[in-house]
Structure 1
Amino acid sequence: MIQSGGAAEPSPIVEALSAVVDAIQAATPTPELRVVASLVAVIVLAAVVVAVRQFGPWLKARTDDRDLTIESLRAVVVTVTVVLFGLSLVVVWRGVGLAVGVLPTDTVTGRAVVRTVLTVAILVFATVATRLTKRGIRDFGRRNGALSDHQTEITHHVVQVGVYAVALLVVFTVWGVNPGNLLVGAGFAGIVLGLAARQTLGAVLAGFVVLFSRPFELGDWVVIGDQEGVVTDITIVNTQIRTFDEEYVMIPNDVVTDTEVVNRSRKGRLRLNLDVGVDYATDVDRAAEIAEEAMRGHDLVLAQPDPHVVLTGFGDSSVGLRLRFYIDNPSARKMWKARTRVTLAVKEAFDEAGIKIPFPQRELSGRAETAGFRVAGGEGRQTARGSAANTQTDGGGHGGDDA
């Protein structure tokens, strides 16, 4: 319907919103009441954030998709609340321009207050936006299979840097700073910042190197310097691993790029070695065959590459054998489980075949003329005579042959 003046008749939704805006502005006619209304809006925003955090665990216990759905719902609620918070400030203060003009500009409650509130709102919005994009990217990668976990992390961090860069430009505009003027002193400022924060900047640059060079991915079993564990997170600043003692270690990315990194999960399989010795009187070829058959009899040991045994050399009392076998999808728990089972299987197979695994033994004998051994701290003598006791000496001779 067109009015006589030629203007379109406003919709009921617009009329309702206009009524709400008029009511809020009528309730806050003075700057003091507007400040009070702004504080109330801040309190409501904080209460919603706290409620969302407390409501999360309760909702997780009643849903199946514990990660994506709950976090997405949290992000949506917080985002809507932040938007409503910003709109309420605009309505209460009749627009940003009017708010700046109404407040005294020579006090803390002047322009700085409005700009500070806007800065906080912009940064909060940017943080929520990065979380939403992270969930969206992860959901897209899972449903379509187009992105691996590592590619998802790279995409998220690139988007994160872009969102925060735009947010900073908006903040500069709010504070009346021309970003172009910052480029004029970028050379000198770059030198100062480079000297003051070179370690942090180095970690950030190294973070992109780690993300794009992909020496490891999420879930990989790695050894970085003195730390060994599973990679749980990769950011542009540091890499987080969970050790096998359930400790979380944060390693700066510049340390990662400067340190030797061992990735035990890279190829999806890992070779394990187990050393054992057999008696010199044993048929070594037969012992090797028995050990190989024992290794093949376990589901944790891969059939290909084939388990095999190699000779490592001659020991003091045994011939050294090295048992080599592979496991797939390696993890620390699986490695120790496989080593334990193979050790028990080879031991049982050797026992059944009568193959002796030598271990250090010593037999001591005393000279017959000395009437045996003297017990330290004792009053009497303990004799050890006879041919059975004179079989082998440790640093001495055979009894009866010496004068």
Structure 2
Amino acid sequence: MMMRSMDNVVMGLAGWPWLEIGLRGAGILLTWLAVWLVNRSVRPRLRRRLSERRGIAEREIQPLSTLLMYALITAGILITLALANLTPLLYSALTAAGVAGIIIGFGVQDLASNFISGLFILLDRPFVVGDVIKVGEFTGTVTKIALRTTTIQTFDGPAVFIPNSMAATSPVTNFSTAELRRVGLTVSVFQDCDIQRALSLVAELAEHEARVAKEPAPSLYVEGVRDGMVTLQWYGYVRPADMLTVPSDLRRRIVEEFRRQGIRLGVPVQLNLTPKYFEAGATRISQKAEMHDGTTEGPHV
């Protein structure tokens, strides 16, 4: 009986597809060996390359690296199930993962959108840390680019945390990409002044400003004549860092030089007519008209 049982076991084992089993086992081993190699060597190299070539801080790449590790493990599990001929279990796992993904997707839709947008911003680099940008109504210097938010230090002081989905879908103005920025200066003088002399003084003062670029050449012209004044308009190109200081310094020098030359700077004079003014005026006009027509009653005798 013992020998017959052993013979049955041997015959049963001999009927197994050992070659196929060996190949599937080898495939599973190679799969997890590849997962281990990618996780140990390729993933750190990718992290260093992104940090060195793209200038992305490694702490910002860490969530992406972790996500890549989970993706590798998931791929290894799916390949293992397929090689082990566990197709029904594989289909069940894929179905469950799909349903769970839909449910989770609805719950973290905004989070996922910000995360994916952060990846595009880090890889495409429409702006980097240190750039002065404008997103929507916020303008300031980029101090941090994370996977979910971008931090902008506004010129007023507060820091604004902008969701990356907003930064990826809204128009973004980057003031730091261009080497030169155009700045403008408006000067108003009275009409009885020497207009040509005023133009020459503005052009001379701007020409002696070393921070104003020679090319493109600055422009100066008469912008308009109104309210007894002539408006002069000057445009020049400066570095982004000098956008505020150059116009301020030019205004100060123009005021000082015009004062020495006896050229009067014009200031618009506005008359604000309030409703009370109109009501009082209408009452006085009505009273004068009644007195003129003799319709106003006097005291009874």
TM-score range, shorter chain: 0.5 to 0.7
Task: Measure the CA separation in 2 of the matches of 1:310 and 1:155.
Answer: 52
- Tell whether 2:148 aligns with 1:237: yes
Distance 1:152 1:361, change over 3 A: closer
SS of the equivalent of 2:115 reads helix
List aligned pairs for 1:215-226, cutoff 5 A. Answer: 215-226=126-137
Q: CA–CA distance in 2 between the matches of 1:348 and 1:182?
A: 80
Cα deviations by residue, 1:338-375 (Å, 9 ceiling, x for unpaired): 2221101222232233322122569xxxxxxxxxxxxx
State how far apart, in whole Å, the 2-side matches of 1:347 and 1:289 are: 14
Q: How does 1:1-12 map to 2 (within 5 A)?
A: none
Deviation at 1:254, TM superposition (A): 1.0
Contact residue 186 and residue 233 of structure 2 kept, 8 A: yes
Pairing 1:356–2:267 present: no
1:312 maps to 2:223: yes
TM-score normalized by the length of structure 2: 0.61
**Contact 1:295–1:346 at 8 Å: present in 2 too?**
no
Aligned length in residues: 220
Question: Of 184, 193, 200, which residue of structure 2 is paired with 1:289?
Answer: 200
Is structure 2 residue 154 aligned with structure 1 residue 246? no
Which residue among 247, 268, 272 is the counterpart of 1:339?
247
Unaligned 5+ segments in structure 2 are 1-39, 82-88, 271-301
Q: CA deviation at 1:301?
A: 2.1
Q: Tell me which of the two structures has the higher relative contact order, counting C-alpha pairs closer than 8 angstroms and 6 or more residues apart.
A: 2
Paired-residue identity, %: 26
The residue identity in structure 2 corresponding to 1:204 is F
Aligned partner of residue 152 in structure 1, secondary structure: coil
Partner Cα distance (2:61, 2:103) in 1: 26
Inter-CA distance 186–344: structure 2 relative to 1 (3 Å threshold): same
Residue 268 (structure 1) aligned to one of 176, 179, 197 = 179
1:339 partner amino acid: P
Matches within 5 A, 1:374-385: none
Instruction: Encode CA deviations 1:274-294: one digit per residue, 9 max, x unaligned.
Output: 211122123433322210110
Asked whether the 8 Å contact 2:47–2:65 carries over to 1, the reply is: no
Runs of 4+ in 1 over 6 A off after TM superposition: 132-137, 168-173, 178-181
Distance (whole Å) between structure 2 residues aligned to residue 313 and residue 344 of structure 1 = 22
What TM-score, normalized to structure 1? 0.47
Q: Which residue of 82, 99, 103 maps to 1:192?
A: 103
- Give, in whole Å, the separation in 1 of the partners of 2:159 and 2:196: 47
Tell me how far 1:190 sits from its aligned partner. Answer: 2.3
In structure 1, what is the Cα distance between the partners aligned to 2:93 and 2:192?
A: 84
Calculate the aligned-residue CA RMSD, in Å: 3.6
Alignment of 1:160-171 (within 5 A): 160-166=63-69
Q: In 2, Cα distance between the equivalents of 1:204 and 1:360?
A: 52
